[in-house]
């Protein structure tokens, strides 16, 4: 299956590089902060782009801008919201500043594994987010798996909350992340990602947390000894489109966008899951000591995080949390 998929994507990549014979009526520009080697880019470039252009007979052109050419995730979201950009491929956590109700995405240890998370986003969480994002003129076309966030550090393997006590741990500038790691006993220290490698190298911080693909592509393993697969927060890869732009498109093109984005979702999901698995092996080969956590060990961390759940439920109820628990 995987060999057939890779062969298909390789063939589509060649097709996507062929010049269009006629000027397109519509252009979908997609902003992406990651590199061309990232699964999000590969799936968009080798399936979404050629399929959109083929099925619309060239009426739609798809242009993908990786490596933050069109700005950060936050800038891309703003552009799509304002209608100055058609689409963006983003990490889901970048949506949190838009509405506090979106905080459920970053509740720690919400999902036991990636299969449950992917099912929840496919069946109801994406629809829930779209209802929240409606005032911002944003629509999520699909959500795949960017990956769980894990902890790296230079002290020792992390297997229990006590291992985090006093650890200077870099987090995103995200109040929920900061609150979570305070509950777990760490000393959370927001640092810009562009400064993280140097901060780890110089010992300004002892540890950090990110998805596997970020740890690998950012070469953070060069300045970290231990990777603990804590899986504390699930990060979805999302594909946004301007709602107004989408609604102004002809019906047949809207239908094609829906079909092709739906078909692209599992392809990108599989690519990202496989990339993360491969990256773990690459990190081990580079000398990083990797340890996994059992369900019981993760539950010890989850128990300490109960206050962030209580605060969320007090404000927004426990409906979503119960629906997720029902599919575990």
Domain residue ranges of the chain, discontinuous segments joined by +: 2-322
How does pLDDT run along the chain (328 residues), one tens digit per residue?
444 454 555 454 444 444 444 589 999 999 999 889 899 999 999 999 999 999 999 999 999 999 999 998 999 999 999 999 999 999 898 999 999 999 999 999 999 999 999 999 999 999 999 999 999 999 999 998 889 999 999 999 999 999 999 999 999 888 899 999 999 999 999 998 889 999 999 999 999 999 998 899 889 999 999 999 999 999 999 999 999 999 999 999 999 999 999 999 999 999 999 999 999 999 999 999 999 999 999 999 999 999 999 999 999 999 999 999 998 7
The Cα angle at residue 39 between residues 82 and 281, in degrees rounded to 5: 140
Tokens (6 digits) for 160: 């229990």
The Cα angle at residue 239 between residues 112 and 257, in degrees rounded to 5: 125
Domain 2-322 has CATH 3.90.1150.10: no
Sign of the CA dihedral running 213, 216, 217, 223: positive
Q: Are 150 and 129 in contact (CB under 8 A)?
A: no
Q: Are 265 and 142 in contact (CB under 8 A)?
A: yes
Q: Which residues are within 8 A (CB) of 4 and not within 5 positions of it... i.e. 6 or more apart?
A: none
Sign of the CA dihedral running 263, 264, 267, 268: negative
Pairing outcome for strands 60-65 and 26-32: parallel
pTM, two decimals, is: 0.86
C-alpha torsion 60→61→64→70, nearest 10: -90
Q: Are 244 and 137 in contact (CB under 8 A)?
A: yes
| pLDDT of 21 | 47
């Amino acid at each position: 299956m995987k060999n057939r998929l890779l062969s298909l994507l390789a063939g589509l990549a060649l097709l996507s590089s062929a010049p269009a014979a006629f000027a397109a009526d519509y252009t979908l520009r997609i902003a992406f902060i990651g590199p061309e080697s990232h699964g999000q880019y590969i799936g968009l470039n080798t399936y979404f782009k050629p399929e959109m252009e083929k099925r619309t007979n060239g009426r739609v052109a798809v242009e993908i801008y990786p490596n933050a050419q069109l700005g950060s995730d936050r800038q891309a979201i703003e552009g799509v919201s304002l209608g100055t950009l058609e689409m963006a491929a983003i990490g889901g956590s970048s949506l949190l500043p838009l509405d506090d109700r979106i905080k459920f995405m970053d509740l720690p240890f919400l999902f036991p594994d990636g299969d449950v998370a992917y099912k929840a986003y496919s069946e109801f969480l994406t629809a829930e987010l779209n209802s929240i994002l409606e005032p911002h003129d944003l629509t999520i076309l699909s959500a795949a798996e960017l990956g769980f966030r894990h902890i790296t550090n230079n002290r020792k393997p992390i297997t229990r909350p006590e291992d985090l006590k006093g650890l200077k741990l870099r987090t995103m500038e995200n109040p929920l992340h900061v609150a979570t790691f305070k509950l777990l006993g760490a000393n959370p220290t927001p640092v810009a990602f562009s400064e993280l490698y140097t901060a780890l190298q110089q010992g300004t911080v002892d540890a950090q947390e990110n998805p596997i693909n970020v740890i690998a592509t950012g070469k953070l393993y060069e300045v970290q000894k231990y990777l603990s697969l804590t899986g504390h927060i699930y990060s979805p890869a999302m594909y946004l489109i301007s709602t107004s732009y989408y609604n102004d498109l002809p019906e047949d093109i809207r239908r094609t966008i829906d079909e092709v984005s739906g078909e692209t979702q599992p392809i990108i999901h599989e690519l990202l899951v496989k990339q993360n698995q491969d990256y773990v092996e690459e990190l081990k080969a580079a000398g990083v000591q990797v340890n996994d956590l059992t369900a019981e060990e993760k539950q010890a961390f989850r128990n300490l995080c109960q206050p962030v759940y209580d605060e969320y439920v007090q404000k927004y109820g426990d409906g979503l949390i119960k629906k997720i628990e029902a599919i575990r």
